[in-house]
Amino acid sequence: MLRLGKREFGTHEPVIMAIVNRTPDSFYDQGATFRDEPALARVERAVAEGAAIIDIGGVKAGPGEEVTAEEEARRTVGFVAEVRRRFPDVIISVDTWRAEVGAAVCEAGADLLNDAWGGVDPGLAEVAARYRVGLVCTHAGGAEPRTRPHRIEYDDVMADILDVTVGLAERALALGVPRESIMIDPGHDFGKNTRHSLEATRRLDEMAATGWPVLVSLSNKDFVGETLDRPVKERVVGTLATTAVSAWLGAQVYRVHEVAETRQVLEMVSAIAGHGRPAVARRGLA
């Protein structure tokens, strides 16, 4: 059972997390949702297309201009409050590694803290415990926030992923974060080269076997682009293929840009696996 905000999800119920970047320099949309009204329109569309979670980020993941904690909070806190006012039932997630930003967005109504940098600030899990909100525990290979991997090596990348993410999840639980609100994330691209991310995908069933819900953030990432030799705007097909494999291997939560397309993929995989059923069933009955 996964419980976030006002929602509960069964073990085999896929959950879509829609990305809303509150940054002027996003790798994917180059700041299309930096201003309030386009960002709110994005939230409305994502919810209509089937997203249960809105993931709000105030800092670009990759290298770029420095963004202080104060500026990150300025970009996210008021927006969280407005999304909560307009969409009282949606699950609001904030992508941050900073405890002070985490506390501020929780005060504004966030339900989930998405720690994409692997617990680099141990205080963030303490914030999640204090506010009784969810937490995403991610493997980032020990990388500092907003840095790219350089000649990183693992004896066994999945063993390292499991050691880090399960350790972070167990620490969060011990601090008081509700067990049913903790997820683990292999951290595709974060502290990994393309082969590491492909292997992490291939072995996702090992993460699912831990019993912690698995979140994957695959959308248009570099490992997809390098595998297919495609630029950012031409990675949707590769992303959806990876999504289908991840769903088959037991992932539950999907952080995405393309909500409607992801929903169709997840519904198809669920039906093939026997967890879902066709929306209609007319063939052979007339």
Q: Would you say 158 and 206 are in contact if contact means Cβ atoms under 8 Å apart?
A: yes
Q: What angle do CA 102, 106, 108 make, to 5 degrees?
A: 120
Taking only the tens of pLDDT, the chain with its 286 residues reads 999 999 999 999 999 999 999 998 776 676 688 789 999 999 999 999 999 999 999 999 999 989 999 999 999 999 999 999 999 999 999 999 999 999 999 999 999 999 999 999 999 999 999 999 999 999 999 999 999 999 999 999 999 999 999 999 999 999 999 999 999 999 999 999 999 999 999 999 999 999 999 999 999 999 999 999 999 999 999 999 999 999 999 999 999 999 999 999 999 999 999 999 999 999 998 7
194-211 CB burial, b ≥16 within 10 A, e <16: bebbbbbbebbebbbeee
CA atoms within 13 A on the CB side of 169: 25
Alpha-carbon span 26 to 35, nearest angstrom? 13
Q: Would you say 78 and 86 are in contact if contact means Cβ atoms under 8 Å apart?
A: no
Q: Is 195 a catalytic residue?
A: no
How many Cβ atoms sit within 10 Å of the Cβ of residue 6?
Answer: 10
Alpha-carbon span 250 to 165, nearest angstrom? 16
First to last CA, the chain: 39
Q: Would you say 112 and 135 are in contact if contact means Cβ atoms under 8 Å apart?
A: yes
Token pair, residue 263, equals 């929903």
Q: Which domains does the chain have, with CATH numbers?
A: 13-273 (3.20.20.20)
Alpha-carbon span 96 to 127, nearest angstrom? 12
Q: Give the chain's largest Cα–Cα span.
A: 64
**Which of 45, 255, 263, 277 is an active site residue?**
255
Which residue matches tokens 């900073």? 98
Tell me the H-state helices in the chain: 36-49, 69-86, 99-108, 123-131, 157-175, 194-202, 204-208, 222-228, 236-248, 259-273
Q: What is the pLDDT of residue 27?
A: 67
**Which of 221, 230, 263, 283 is an active site residue?**
221
| CA torsion, ordered 100, 102, 135, 34, to nearest 10 deg | -130
Q: Is 6 a catalytic residue?
A: no
Alpha-carbon span 25 to 13, nearest angstrom? 33
Q: What is the pLDDT of residue 30?
A: 65
Q: Any bridge partners for residue 53, and if so which?
A: 17, 91
Chain centre distance of CA 146: 16
